[in-house]
Copies of this chain bind each other. A is one copy, B any other.
Amino acid sequence: MGATKTDHFTDQQNKIANIAKALGHPARIAIIEYLMKANECICGDIVNELPLAQPTVSQHLKELKNAGLIKGNIEGNSICYCIDEKTIETINKYFSKVINSVSKAKCC
């Protein structure tokens, strides 16, 4: 064993878990924060900003892209990355829902 039993859970549960998983690494949070700070599309640069080798950063970018957290537009021979709001909104709404349901009943 060792593989996650995704088929035992709902699509919604797998979807939220996938987004969270993609954000579950400090390098990927750092990438998101760099895109926030820049406040515009960033072509290149990201590799120089992180304390990791180019192939490693490329891999992290791929994972963020697969999870729908960032978008990449090809711009000449470089690629222009930015945050995909929709996905961030999806989890933000999800956690808001969690908070609302919890605040109704306190016990611990």
- A residues lining the B interface (CB < 8 Å): 4-6, 8-10, 13-14, 16-18, 20-30, 32-33, 35-37, 39-41, 51-52, 71-73, 80-85, 88-89, 91-92, 95-99, 101-105, 107-108
Check B92–A96 contact: CB distance below 8 A.
yes
- Which one of B25, B82, B95 lies within 8 Å of A95 (CB-CB)? B95
Pair A92/B89 contact, Cβ less than 8 Å: no
Docked CA distance A21–B63 (Å): 14
Main secondary structure of the interface of A (DSSP, over half): helix
Report whether B32 and A98 are in contact in the complex, using a CB–CB cutoff of 8 Å. Answer: yes
23 CB contacts below 8 A, A to B, read A5-B52, A6-B26, A8-B26, A9-B27, A9-B51, A13-B29, A13-B30, A16-B23, A17-B29, A20-B29, A21-B25, A22-B24, A32-B98, A35-B102, A36-B98, A36-B102, A37-B101, A39-B101, A39-B105, A83-B98, A85-B102, A92-B96, A95-B95
Sample of 6 further A-B pairs with CB below 8 A, known A9-B26, A40-B105, A41-B108: A5-B51, A32-B98, A72-B108, A73-B108, A81-B108, A91-B95
